[in-house]
Amino acid sequence: MTDAWKANTSAFDRVRSIAVTLDTPRNAEWISEQALVSENTARNHLERLVEMNILQRLEERAVLYQPDPLYTRMRALRELLAEHDQDDLIALRAHLLEQVEAWQAEYDVEDADELRTVATQAASAEETRAIRQTANDWAIVAYRLRLVDDAIEHYSEYTGSTPAPA
């Protein structure tokens, strides 16, 4: 499988595909191992991705790379707009709000942060894990809801189309 990936994908594309999916900052050595390239090749491509505003370069004890949050957000918005028209986005918003409202009713809290507090008071490890997972899911839904709201609010601007009649 890795042989096929290496044979059919450029080194730059492999580095990019690993780097844009990072959930924690990583160094060039780690990325090079995952992307099946030399460390020098990875560094060159990572710096190019930084110049393109796709990645951020962090200088702590070592140089680390992470996806640029603005790039990630805009990419997610593009995907939403490519997959959904304005009516679909409104329906998706309703579905996401229903999910949030269900969690609010089930746990009697307003948001994922409050639910994390509830998790610290759970009676068992299993219950703590389940509540924490729900809080994580809720945070993802809340982020997605903000994206959908942005896509709806700026639909005509982002797509170059005229707004749908009310």
Write out residues in the chain with pLDDT < 50, as ranges: none
Domain with 119, as residue range(s), is 71-159
User: What is the pLDDT, as a whole number, of residue 166?
Assistant: 56
User: What is the pLDDT, as a whole number, of residue 3?
Assistant: 81
User: What is the pLDDT, as a whole number, of residue 25?
Assistant: 96
User: What is the pLDDT, as a whole number, of residue 164?
Assistant: 56
115 and 44, same structural domain?
Answer: no
User: What is the pLDDT, as a whole number, of residue 9?
Assistant: 92
80 and 27, same structural domain?
Answer: no
- Three-state secondary structure along the chain? CHHHHHHHCCHHHHHHHHHCCCCCCECHHHHHHHHCCCHHHHHHHHHHHHHCCCEEEEECCCEEEEECHHHHHHHHHHHHHHHCCHHHHHHHHHHHHHHHHHHHHHHCCCCHHHHHHHHCCCCCHHHHHHHHHHHHHHHHHHHHHHHHHHHHHCHHHHHCCCCCCC
User: What is the pLDDT, as a whole number, of residue 61?
Assistant: 86
23 and 37, same structural domain?
Answer: yes
